[in-house]
Amino acid sequence: MRTQVAIIGAGPAGLLLSHLLAQGGVESVVLETRSEAYVAARIRAGILEHSSVELLEAVGLGARIRTEGDHHRGIYLQWPGERHHLDFVDLAGRSVWVYGQTEVQKDLIAARAADDQEIHYEVSDVALHEVESDRPYVTFTDKSGSTQRLDCDVIAGCDGSFGPSRHAVPAAKTFERVYPYSWFGILADVAPSTDELIYAWHPNGFALHSMRSATVSRLYLQVPNGTDPESWSDDRIWEELATRLGHGQNGWKLTPGPITDKSVLPMRSYVQTPMRHGNLFLAGDAAHIVPPTGAKGLNLAIADVALLSKALIAQLREKNPALAERYSDDAQRRVWRCTHFSWWMTTMLHTSGDPFDAELQLSQLRWVATSRAGATGLAENYAGLPIGY
């Protein structure tokens, strides 16, 4: 097999890259270890930044965001006794959309199918070869068990944090922070008890009230690392959410409902640089991981491939390597901005058990929620900077 760009991974980064390349007249083949059904059903992120929505709309992927997504002007920040609304539109002239990663993934799968994109699902033994040469290639075992070789001009490593691509960059510099807590996430068949997301600091730990639709709520609790989701009964989950989210505070009520999914997500920050080695380019979680508190992971993957697609189209169609040469540096500016913001939100909202930390957090929350300067900083970062920042 031969193509211009071999894309490893059919998550949001890989499929959107393939879509953007096709629109620019560059062909690709996508390789994915999981099945199409698995990839489409994976429950992950839920918030799209302003620029992500603009980009998806500009490339024909915005129709369902408009009809099924939920436009949010801002978020609530709270701690015991107080809840403050931060209006991003007023503060920063930008907003966000609640639209699940599963829906983004389904839109991408449908768009690639309509374009007859070649995607090989359920492959194994994916290996990258000769990435420093002009003739790199990828070998893999296809679904039927046959060994295959895919020759290409460029390999795009969009295979997330567990894929092989990032290990194919020798002498990469890595930065890592592991946090001493995890998120326990639930999905519930109940109307959200709030119009916009609530990020809550509480002495028992952080809690977040998010949503997927008018009838489906998504909620998270800070829990110790290693927590087994099955060790929490549904009643205990709802009781703890009610406590941390302030049930009864100024008459506000949290309505419980049937829980349809439970999972525990460990949290870490990770950045690998450079994001290019020879003719291998990394994008999305393959190059960086953020803790989920700032809702940046999916948006960062989208921003990476917005830059990478332009760079590869210029390199492969116009024989102009300038953007490809700058890709890693350009992408890393936003990566570090989002890494800082995600770390900042995480450390402001998760309790450590240390009373000094708790007072600092409460002081910072009060300032962010009540000073226009403080609130604007959060709003600008959360609603997201323009692509190319």
Q: Interface with ligand DHB includes 293 (CB under 6 A)? A: yes
Partner whose footprint covers residue 210, from ligand DHB, ligand FAD, none (CB < 5 to 8 Å by kind): ligand DHB
Query: What sections of 217-296 are H helices per DSSP?
Result: 234-245
- Residues between 177 and 206 that touch ligand DHB (CB under 6 A): 197
From the list 127, 155, 131, the residue with the least C-alpha distance to 141 is: 127
Shortest Å distance, C-beta 119 to ligand FAD:
11
Per CB under 6 A, which region of 173-181, 235-243, 291-299, 379-387 contacts ligand FAD?
291-299
Per CB under 6 A, which region of 31-39, 72-80, 306-314, 361-369 contacts ligand FAD?
31-39
Partner whose footprint covers residue 293, from ligand FAD, ligand DHB, none (CB < 5 to 8 Å by kind): ligand DHB
Residue 301 burial (CB count, 10 A): 28
- Map residue 313 onto helix, strand or coil: helix
- Residues between 93 and 132 that touch ligand FAD (CB under 6 A): 101, 126
Partner whose footprint covers residue 107, from ligand DHB, ligand FAD, none (CB < 5 to 8 Å by kind): none
* Exposed/middle/buried for residue 147 (C-beta within 10 Å: 0-12, 13-18, 19+): exposed
Could you give the CA distance from residue 62 to residue 114 in angstroms, rounded to a whole number? 15
Q: Interface with ligand DHB includes 334 (CB under 6 A)? A: no
Shortest Å distance, C-beta 121 to ligand DHB:
25
Give the x/- contact pattern for ligand DHB in 45-74, rule: CB under 6 A. xxx---------------------------
Closer residue to ligand DHB in complex, CB, 79/206:
206
Partner whose footprint covers residue 159, from ligand FAD, ligand DHB, none (CB < 5 to 8 Å by kind): ligand FAD
Q: What's the CA angle centered on 198, arms 182 and 90, to 5 degrees?
A: 130
Q: Interface with ligand FAD includes 49 (CB under 6 A)? A: no
How many chain residues bind ligand FAD (CB under 6 A)?
A: 31
Could you give the CA distance from residue 342 to residue 336 in angstroms, rounded to a whole number? 10
Shortest Å distance, C-beta 382 to ligand FAD:
11
Residues catalogued as catalytic = 72, 199, 292, 296, 382
* The amino acid at 267: M
Query: DSSP letters along 337-385, please?
Result: HHHHHHHHHHHHHS--S-HHHHHHHHHHHHHHHH-HHHHHHHHHHHH-P
Closer residue to ligand DHB in complex, CB, 112/212:
212
- Map residue 272 onto helix, strand or coil: strand
Q: Interface with ligand DHB includes 292 (CB under 6 A)? A: yes
| Residues 6 or more apart in contact with residue 31 via CB below 8 angstroms | 6, 7, 8, 9, 10, 119, 120, 123, 126, 138, 140, 150
Name the pairing type of β-strands 154-157 and 280-282.
parallel
User: Does residue 192 have a cis peptide bond before it, meaning omega lies within 30 degrees of 0?
Assistant: no
From the list 49, 79, 94, 73, the residue with the least C-alpha distance to 370 is: 79
* The amino acid at 337: R
Q: In the set 5, 7, 39, 77, which binds ligand FAD (CB under 6 A)?
A: 39
Shortest Å distance, C-beta 197 to ligand FAD:
11
Partner whose footprint covers residue 298, from ligand DHB, ligand FAD, none (CB < 5 to 8 Å by kind): ligand FAD
From the list 350, 58, 333, 86, the residue with the least C-alpha distance to 200 is: 350
From the list 92, 57, 55, 87, the residue with the least C-alpha distance to 72 is: 87
- Residues between 212 and 231 that touch ligand DHB (CB under 6 A): 218
Per CB under 6 A, which region of 7-15, 44-52, 54-62, 126-134 contacts ligand DHB?
44-52
- Neighbour order of strands in the sheet with 96-98: 47-49, 96-98, 70-72
Could you give the CA distance from residue 55 to residue 62 in angstroms, rounded to a whole number? 9
Q: Interface with ligand FAD includes 366 (CB under 6 A)? A: no
Shortest Å distance, C-beta 11 to ligand FAD:
2
Partner whose footprint covers residue 78, from ligand DHB, ligand FAD, none (CB < 5 to 8 Å by kind): none
Q: Name the residues that contact ligand FAD, by CB under 6 A.
A: 8-14, 31-34, 39, 44-45, 101, 126, 158-160, 162-164, 265, 284-285, 292, 295-298, 301
Q: Name the residues that contact ligand DHB, by CB under 6 A.
A: 45-47, 197, 210, 218, 292-293, 295
